[in-house]
């Protein structure tokens, strides 16, 4: 947590000392991005510690239920009996000929 105040102080210092220059704007943008990333990492860490563990049986049941709900389309065999043969390639079209 002490990283965020340091970054904010650095941001304020850069903004006050170098007003209007491109390197200052880049430094401000970098500092703001780093502060937001640090805050996001802290929130993710806190959230992951608060989440309860899911029992393995529940995970297996969820995977099995999803498998049963998934639509299955049989693979089509183009060489199966009764299927028409694909057309043979013909002459090249005039628009495709270069």
Q: What is the pLDDT of residues 27-51, one digit of tens each?
A: 778 888 998 999 999 999 998 888 7
In a domain, 79, yes or no: no
In a domain, 90, yes or no: no
Question: What's the confidence (pLDDT) of residue 64?
Answer: 92
User: What is the domain extent for residue 53?
Assistant: 3-65
Question: What's the confidence (pLDDT) of residue 48?
Answer: 84
In a domain, 74, yes or no: no
Do the beta carbons of residue 14 and residue 27 sit within 8 Å?
yes
Do the beta carbons of residue 86 and residue 78 sit within 8 Å?
yes
Number of domains in the chain: 1
pTM above 0.85, yes or no: no
In a domain, 83, yes or no: no
Helix extents (H) in the chain: 3-17, 22-50, 56-69
Q: Which segments of the chain have a pLDDT < 70?
A: 1-4, 7-8, 10-20, 73-75, 92-98
Question: What's the confidence (pLDDT) of residue 32?
Answer: 86
The label of the residue with tokens 């628009």 reads 95
In a domain, 97, yes or no: no
In a domain, 92, yes or no: no
In a domain, 30, yes or no: yes
In a domain, 55, yes or no: yes
């Amino acid at each position: 947590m002490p990283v965020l105040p340091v970054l904010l102080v650095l941001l304020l210092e850069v903004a006050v000392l170098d007003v209007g220059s491109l390197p200052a704007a880049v430094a401000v943008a970098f500092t703001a991005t780093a502060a937001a990333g640090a805050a996001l990492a802290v929130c993710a860490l806190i959230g992951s510690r608060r989440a309860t563990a899911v029992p393995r049986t529940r995970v297996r049941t969820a995977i099995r239920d999803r498998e049963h709900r998934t639509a299955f389309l049989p693979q089509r065999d183009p060489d199966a009996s009764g299927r028409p043969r694909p057309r043979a390639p013909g002459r090249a079209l005039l628009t495709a000929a270069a």
